[in-house]
A and B are shown apart, each in its own frame.
Chain A
Amino acid sequence: MRILAAVVLLLLAACTASTPEPVRLKVVASPELADLGPVLAELKRATGVELAVEHRGTVEASRSLAGFDLAWLSTNRFLRLRGAEPALSSSIMTSPVVLGVKPGKRAVLGEKPTWADVADRAAVGEFRYGMADPQVSGGGMAALIGVATAAAGTGAALRPEDVSCDRLQGFLAGRVFDVPDPISEYTRRQSDVDGVVAHESELLALNASGRVSEPLEIVYPRDGIVLSDYPLMLVDPAHRAAYDRVVEWLRSPAAQRMIAERTWRRPVDPATPRDEKLRTGIGTALYFPDTQQVLDRLLVFHDRAGDGRQVIFVLDYSTSMRGPRIAALREAFASLNGFDRFYTGETVTIVRFAGSVLEERSITVRGRPDLDALLAVVASDDLRDNTAIWAALDHALRLARGETTVVLMTDGENNAGPSVDEFLRVGRGEVPVYPVRFGEASVAELDRVAQASGGRLVDAGAKSLLEAVREIRGCR
């Protein structure tokens, strides 16, 4: 009998799955993954693998994974841009970067808002938000890419030429803070901010935490979002066996369910049941750019937000403009909205001219009434004889303060004041001039001036004046 019992015990011991060696792996993870604590405790219990996590922003961590065994970031796209993506990578869960809005401010954005609507209200101070710092955070960078892709409006991924002009300033004018941890910052400053751009998971967790006086409404911008897919990556191939164990467990139904329930991220396993809130349609994902150059350029735009910039419009009010032309010009000004709106902090100068300068008006935008004041200048019916283009442009360039762009809109030939040759004989500094040509204006002369200044000629003959102005909005 004792022998039988011993044999059975031996058999039992042999059949029990051998407990794997306990392993401790160094992991770099996005900061928002700090909420995975209970999941990681369960992982350790089930697989024997302990993940010792150091949190770093995804953009920052993507610069170097040296010294880590695994990486668990919101995306591997930044690594891929550098050609530094680890060979083994497995998506565990997803969450879109979206907008959380206070219920009281929700109506300001309209019914199904786009990023363009957000930019439009942010530009004039009607919507103030916080976001993650795109220099370090994947969520912040995703937001910037999303907004810039929507602003370019090509329906395709951003190319370097799509970000040659800066169309983000209106959106960024509404930004109250950008910090590595926007959710904590929001809870501290919720009384003076209208919303926050962050992952859906972070917003749902914030709402459930009771740390906000009123839960945020989640807005999935209609023109598209960027989706984080949280791949777990094997950095040091020596830990392949443990990595496989971790991935297998994290993708198991029990773990996927725990992730959905505890962290508000969307499970990658289609069969995992999910909360109603995680079933909301998230709409279109914007295509992700394929060059680092695009990202670098977006960061330049981001970093210079808030610097007072100046744009000078030099507008032809000679009598030939009477009728449909002046109407089109006024219409173009009135229709500058969305990403093209004049924004808080921007100084807009309008120089009206005919045979001489008729009026000069500078307004630094603080809110919507300033936009109305600008429209009032353009609404003037004071049209006169003659066209002194180069004298007016000379006058405008003398008004330039700091970083300035000049937009020259004319329909005719220069017939008063200095000639173009005389104008160009004098050194003009660094201010780029963007002539918008319509009617009978001379292409050759306008093009010469544009090129000499570092600007570019836009021909409004083939398109509307509004499209022409939009094309060069934000160029410098």
Chain B
Amino acid sequence: MHEPEFKAVDPRKRFLLWFVPPLAVFAAGLTVLLVSGHVTGPFRHITVVRAMLASKRDFFQDEQVKRILMARGYQVHVTPVGSRDLARTPDLDSYHFVFPSGHVANEHVKARRTGKHAVPFRPFFTPVVLGTFREYAEALVKAGVATPYDRGEQPFYYNLDVDQFMKLVVAHKRWSDYKLANGNRVIIQSPDPCKAYSGAVLVGFLASAVDDNPPQTVADAEARAREVKPHVDAQGQAGEDMAPKYFAPEGPTHAVIAVIYEHQYLAHQLNRRGADKERVLLYPTVQHQSTPELISFSPEGDRIGELMMTDPALRRRAVELGFHSLGWNGATEQDFAGHLTGQGLPEPPSGETGRVALPKAELFERMLDVVGDCR
């Protein structure tokens, strides 16, 4: 019988054997995470930047954008709001920057910041478009008011003749008149024009179909608004941002033609494996390009604005999210079409047709108030 043997093991060596490999894995992983912005290091200072955003919050709520900004030491805390509400909000000054969607709200904000820090940046633009579904677009083609834009059996983009479309609306045509299983009237659904810029642009589209010369007096603006009002009222209570529901499987139930931004559609398409052939865009013959402005009220806001204009990762991500990026000189950058076609999506017709001439800001605001019965 043998005596039990005792092996003398150096406890330090055992500890190291147990400890070093996981430590190495951890250290390597941490380094990667720190660099990519997934986590913050214990010694790095993260600046929380408070921002109020309209539809462009899609950009700052994107996970990759959050990570890129985190890697640069910033976290943007987003308060979502419609552009018109944004321009009127009482606590405007409490934010580091704001990002309304359109020109009128931009000007309103700048006027309220007269004499204070207010630096504008224009990192990208995106047109207001009409999101619909293939069978509805084809019904409009048969009705003679829409034409396919891109070639191919299943076009993604259609041009919509707003003047001709308006005739269907005025005649109270229903989708069932065009052999679709839907008894609702042919109208466009938009967010509340009292709150959201895209809702306001729809009013602009319809008003231009009534008469393409913008009204010049308050009385003209009110008269034009009263002509448009019944066709906006037909949708009943307007909702908020329409894009999330348009892209849900129940999209056609929520709205068959919804006012959205082009970037929301392109981001949806680029985000998928294989194109969504059911959802298509209508481009009104008169277009409106929203040039959103990031208006900074503070050095923190300035820094975000500068990053948006210069940071290659952020600018690349903007294109991936469907925005047409703009340089310091306001020129369109070239990589947009290339990126889309590289992903199997044809280039949209944005920027090709005439622009809708919106009335002067104060007259347009008056029109919106009449159409929307704004409180």
Mark interface residues in A84-104 (1 if CB within 8 Å of B CB, else 0).
Answer: 000111010010100000000
Asked whether B247 lies within 8 Å of A91 as measured between CB atoms, the reply is no
The answer to the question of B303 belonging to the interface, with a C-beta cut-off of 8 Å to chain A, is no
Which chain A positions have C-beta within 8 A of B30?
11, 15
Most chain A CB within a 10 A radius of its CB, from B172, B183, B244 = B183
The answer to the question of A83 belonging to the interface, with a C-beta cut-off of 8 Å to chain B, is yes
Q: Which of A169-225 contact B (CB under 8 A)?
A: 222-225
Which chain B positions have C-beta within 8 A of A268?
244-245, 248
Q: Per a CB cutoff under 8 Å, which of A15, A94, A156, A279 touches B39?
A: A15
Stretch from A46-54, A285-293, A307-315, A346-354 that touches the partner: A285-293
The answer to the question of A80 belonging to the interface, with a C-beta cut-off of 8 Å to chain B, is yes
CB contact under 8 A between A290 and B233, given known A91-B244, A155-B185? yes
The answer to the question of B249 belonging to the interface, with a C-beta cut-off of 8 Å to chain A, is yes
Asked whether A80 lies within 8 Å of B237 as measured between CB atoms, the reply is yes
Asked whether B23 lies within 8 Å of A155 as measured between CB atoms, the reply is no
The answer to the question of A270 belonging to the interface, with a C-beta cut-off of 8 Å to chain B, is yes
* Interface size class, chain A: 35 or more
Which chain B positions have C-beta within 8 A of A94?
248, 250
B125 shortest CB reach to chain A, Å: 26
Asked whether A155 lies within 8 Å of B244 as measured between CB atoms, the reply is no
CB contact under 8 A between A8 and B181, given known A81-B237, A89-B240? no
CB contact under 8 A between A282 and B237, given known A1-B12, A14-B42, A224-B183? no
Q: Per a CB cutoff under 8 Å, which of A1, A158, A222, A286 touches B184?
A: A286
**CA–CA, A454 to B309, complex, Å?**
69
**CA–CA, A289 to B238, complex, Å?**
9
Which chain A positions have C-beta within 8 A of B235?
156-157, 287
Which chain A positions have C-beta within 8 A of B348?
none
Which chain B positions have C-beta within 8 A of A88?
79-80
Q: Per a CB cutoff under 8 Å, which of B240, B254, B375 touches A285?
A: B254
Mark interface residues in B73-87 (1 if CB within 8 Å of A CB, else 0).
Answer: 000000111000100
The answer to the question of B234 belonging to the interface, with a C-beta cut-off of 8 Å to chain A, is yes
Q: Per a CB cutoff under 8 Å, which of B39, B236, B249 touches A157?
A: B236
A85 shortest CB reach to chain B, Å: 9
Asked whether A284 lies within 8 Å of B249 as measured between CB atoms, the reply is no
Q: Which of B45-86 contact A (CB under 8 A)?
A: 79-81, 85
Which chain B positions have C-beta within 8 A of A8?
23, 26
Asked whether A266 lies within 8 Å of B181 as measured between CB atoms, the reply is no
B286 shortest CB reach to chain A, Å: 25
The answer to the question of A64 belonging to the interface, with a C-beta cut-off of 8 Å to chain B, is no
Which chain B positions have C-beta within 8 A of A283?
181-182, 253
Nearest chain A residue, comparing its CB with the CB of B254: A285
Q: Which of A58-113 contact B (CB under 8 A)?
A: 77, 80-81, 83, 87-89, 91, 94, 96
CB contact under 8 A between A154 and B185, given known A91-B245, A94-B250, A227-B254? yes
**CA–CA, A227 to B250, complex, Å?**
10
Mark interface residues in B1-33 (1 if CB within 8 Å of A CB, else 0).
Answer: 000000000001001100100010010001000
The answer to the question of B174 belonging to the interface, with a C-beta cut-off of 8 Å to chain A, is yes
A388 shortest CB reach to chain B, Å: 42
Asked whether A227 lies within 8 Å of B39 as measured between CB atoms, the reply is no
Mark interface residues in A139-167 (1 if CB within 8 Å of B CB, else 0).
Answer: 00000000000000111111100000000
**CA–CA, A158 to B248, complex, Å?**
26
Asked whether B250 lies within 8 Å of A266 as measured between CB atoms, the reply is yes
Nearest chain A residue, comparing its CB with the CB of B78: A244
Which chain A positions have C-beta within 8 A of B181?
222, 283-284
Which chain A positions have C-beta within 8 A of B248?
94, 266, 268, 270
A248 shortest CB reach to chain B, Å: 10
Asked whether B236 lies within 8 Å of A156 as measured between CB atoms, the reply is yes
Q: Per a CB cutoff under 8 Å, which of B41, B81, B234 touches A287?
A: B234
Most chain A CB within a 10 A radius of its CB, from B26, B85, B184 = B184
Nearest chain A residue, comparing its CB with the CB of B177: A155
Mark interface residues in A3-26 (1 if CB within 8 Å of B CB, else 0).
Answer: 001001011101101000000000
Mark interface residues in A220-242 (1 if CB within 8 Å of B CB, else 0).
Answer: 00111101010000000000000
Nearest chain B residue, comparing its CB with the CB of A5: B19
Asked whether B183 lies within 8 Å of A223 as measured between CB atoms, the reply is yes
**CA–CA, A223 to B181, complex, Å?**
9
Asked whether B12 lies within 8 Å of A227 as measured between CB atoms, the reply is no
Which chain B positions have C-beta within 8 A of A157?
233-237
Mark interface residues in B224-261 (1 if CB within 8 Å of A CB, else 0).
Answer: 00000000011111101000110111100110000000
Q: Per a CB cutoff under 8 Å, which of B81, B174, B187, B375 touches A87?
A: B81
**CA–CA, A237 to B170, complex, Å?**
43
B239 shortest CB reach to chain A, Å: 9
Q: Per a CB cutoff under 8 Å, which of A89, A91, A225, A289 touches B237?
A: A289
Which chain B positions have C-beta within 8 A of A285?
253-254
Asked whether A11 lies within 8 Å of B185 as measured between CB atoms, the reply is no
**CA–CA, A33 to B26, complex, Å?**
43
Nearest chain B residue, comparing its CB with the CB of A81: B237
Asked whether B42 lies within 8 Å of A156 as measured between CB atoms, the reply is no
Asked whether B250 lies within 8 Å of A282 as measured between CB atoms, the reply is yes
Q: Which of B169-227 contact A (CB under 8 A)?
A: 172, 174, 181-185, 187
A297 shortest CB reach to chain B, Å: 15
Which chain A positions have C-beta within 8 A of B42?
10-11, 14-15
B135 shortest CB reach to chain A, Å: 12
Asked whether B236 lies within 8 Å of A155 as measured between CB atoms, the reply is no
Which chain B positions have C-beta within 8 A of A155?
172, 174, 183-185
Nearest chain A residue, comparing its CB with the CB of B82: A87
**CA–CA, A8 to B254, complex, Å?**
53
B200 shortest CB reach to chain A, Å: 17
**CA–CA, A153 to B183, complex, Å?**
8
**CA–CA, A222 to B253, complex, Å?**
12
Asked whether B236 lies within 8 Å of A158 as measured between CB atoms, the reply is yes
Nearest chain A residue, comparing its CB with the CB of B268: A270
B18 shortest CB reach to chain A, Å: 11
Q: Per a CB cutoff under 8 Å, which of B26, B244, B253 touches A284?
A: B253
Closest 7 CB pairs of A and B: A157-B236, A14-B42, A287-B236, A156-B234, A155-B185, A290-B237, A285-B253
Name 26 interchain pairs, CB-CB below 8 A, sorted by A.
A11-B30, A11-B42, A15-B30, A88-B79, A91-B244, A91-B245, A94-B248, A94-B250, A155-B172, A155-B174, A155-B185, A156-B184, A156-B233, A157-B235, A157-B236, A159-B233, A223-B183, A224-B183, A224-B184, A227-B250, A268-B244, A282-B253, A283-B253, A284-B253, A287-B235, A290-B233
Enumerate chain A interface residues (CB-CB to B < 8 A).
1, 5, 8, 10-12, 14-15, 17, 77, 80-81, 83, 87-89, 91, 94, 96, 153-159, 222-225, 227, 229, 266, 268, 270, 274, 279, 282-290
Besides A155-B174, A284-B183, A289-B236, 16 other A-B contacts (C-beta < 8 A): A8-B26, A77-B237, A87-B85, A91-B245, A155-B184, A157-B234, A227-B254, A270-B247, A270-B249, A274-B249, A279-B249, A284-B253, A287-B236, A288-B236, A290-B236, A290-B238
